[in-house]
Amino acid sequence: MTHDYHGRYAEFAVIDDPSLPERFQNYSIDKNKIGEGPISFCYRAQRIDTNETVRLKVFRRRLSLNQEIVELFQKQSRLFSEFRGSQIQSFRGTTAHNEMLILEYGYVDGVSLRSIITENAPLHPDLVGLIVQGILQALNQIHGVRPSPGMGNLIPLHKNLKPENVILTTDGRIMLTDIDMLPFCHLADRLKLSLPYSLNVYESPEQLLKSGYADRRSDLFALGLMMLEMATGRYPYGGANVFEVRQNIREEYRENADSLYPSYKEPSVRSLTKSLSRLIDKMVEHNPEKRMQTLMDLESSLVDYFKDASYDYPQKTLTDFLRLRSFQTERARKKGFIDRLFGG
């Protein structure tokens, strides 16, 4: 799995670097990071006993040495194994080294959606839709298929949906990882551990206003922001730091969405962009009661969006995009006036 590391957390690395040896316990470590986030470093490793490739999520030192974080780690790690599915990165267990807390996951060969946005956005609206269809398939393995909005934390949720935690595999599938990790961030904030954060925040207003409360509409809000970022290459909420960005989300203070979209010359792409933007608007509604309510609602909307398209093998389309980093739309060209006049 390749989470391209852009150095956004570099100033904190020396403080928290786990300094893992090349071999420890049952692992042989690739010393190059495959990812880094606010709470952890990620490494590719080989299990010595089975020769399997795994992903190790190594918590930052300031977290690993805090007793309240350790207790939360023990509690949360019992829950992680409950998230299972063909499109969910498998949780394998926990370990520790020199007091560093470590989670072991199965390894996924692919690139993060963050990397795709950074290198390729804005994406063609059809490509955004195809990626989102894959994310929906994966989210269904967490949420289940029965709609239950308003039940809050009693139902399974991702809660930590963001581009860094969405993986596009080399065979065109979408995998989700790092499910339900936000409690560590919330506790670290309360403990004033000064974690390094990206300024792109995907938590919904209700999560921020109600101290971590979330329901399925919260995941839909995060997915809507991700769609907007894929389609525009820009994030709508600004701020000097993560706390200011969160406050802007609470108060719905953001750039006008229409101003974010690129101006396409082709009328067909402009039309598709307009259709996609209306769908995104329903997902990023500040008031959850006015927001799109369930995954099935979004699936239905995407079916309608693709009604004139012919993506018979979307997984192959995504594989080709990942290999070539170019996208060919599969929609019949609508005849212009001259073509219709002369029967072309």
131, 314 Cβ separation under 8 angstroms = no
Last residue of a domain, one of 73, 106, 139: 106
d(CA 119, CA 115): 6
Give bridge partners of residue 341 from the DSSP assignment: none
List the structure tokens of 227. 């769609």
In a domain, 157, yes or no: yes
86: number of Cβ within 10 Å: 10
d(CA 188, CA 63): 7
In a domain, 233, yes or no: yes
The domain of 263 spans 111-324
61 shares a domain with 15: yes
pLDDT tens across 299-311, in order? 999 999 999 999 9
151 shares a domain with 20: no
220 shares a domain with 131: yes
Question: Has residue 151 got a pLDDT over 50?
Answer: no
Q: What is the pTM of this model?
A: 0.89
Q: Which residue has the tokens 């739309």?
A: 329
E strand map for 133-197: 166-169, 174-176
- Residue 148 CA to chain centroid, in angstroms? 22
Q: What is the mean pLDDT of residues 129-144?
A: 92
116 shares a domain with 101: no
190 shares a domain with 77: no
In a domain, 331, yes or no: no
281 φ/ψ angles, rounded to the nearest 5 degrees: -55, -35
201 shares a domain with 298: yes
Per-residue confidence (pLDDT) for residue 2, from 0 to 100 = 36
Last residue of a domain, one of 106, 130, 160: 106
Question: Has residue 145 got a pLDDT over 70?
Answer: no
Question: Has residue 274 got a pLDDT over 90?
Answer: yes
For 36, 48, 244, the CA distances from 23, given in Å and listed in that order, are: 20, 9, 42
95 shares a domain with 148: no
In a domain, 343, yes or no: no
d(CA 222, CA 171): 25
172 shares a domain with 48: no
Classify residue 142 by burial, with Cβ atoms within 10 Å: 0-12, 13-18, 19+: buried
Question: Has residue 13 got a pLDDT over 70?
Answer: no
For 34, 36, 60, 100, 169, the CA distances from 30, given in Å and listed in that order, are: 9, 14, 18, 17, 20
Q: Which residue has the tokens 């006993």?
A: 49
164 shares a domain with 303: yes
**Maximum separation of any 2 CA atoms in the chain, in Å:** 78
Q: What is the mean pLDDT of residues 66-75?
A: 96
Answer left, alpha or beta for residue 295, where phi above 0 means left and psi between -120 and 50 means alpha: alpha
Q: What is the mean pLDDT of residues 59-69?
A: 94
65 φ/ψ angles, rounded to the nearest 5 degrees: -90, 5
Per residue, the 3-state secondary structure of 106-123, as one string, reads ECCCEEEHHHHHHHHCCC
Question: Has residue 247 got a pLDDT over 50?
Answer: yes
What is the tally of structural domains in the chain? 2
Per-residue confidence (pLDDT) for residue 26, from 0 to 100 = 94
Per-residue confidence (pLDDT) for residue 334, from 0 to 100 = 55
Using DSSP's 3-state secondary structure scheme, residue 276 falls into helix
159 shares a domain with 28: no
In a domain, 330, yes or no: no
* CATH for 166: 1.10.510.10
In a domain, 137, yes or no: yes
55, 34 Cβ separation under 8 angstroms = yes
pLDDT tens across 181-235, in order? 988 998 999 999 988 888 999 999 998 988 778 888 999 999 999 999 999 999 9
DSSP labels for 11-50?
Answer: HHHHHH-----SEETTEEEEEEEEEE-SSEEEEEEEETTT
Question: Has residue 336 got a pLDDT over 60?
Answer: no
Question: Has residue 8 got a pLDDT over 90?
Answer: no
209 shares a domain with 292: yes
Per-residue confidence (pLDDT) for residue 317, from 0 to 100 = 96
Task: Provide the mean pLDDT of the chain.
Answer: 88
Per-residue confidence (pLDDT) for residue 14, from 0 to 100 = 55
Per-residue confidence (pLDDT) for residue 195, from 0 to 100 = 87
Per-residue confidence (pLDDT) for residue 338, from 0 to 100 = 47
152 shares a domain with 58: no
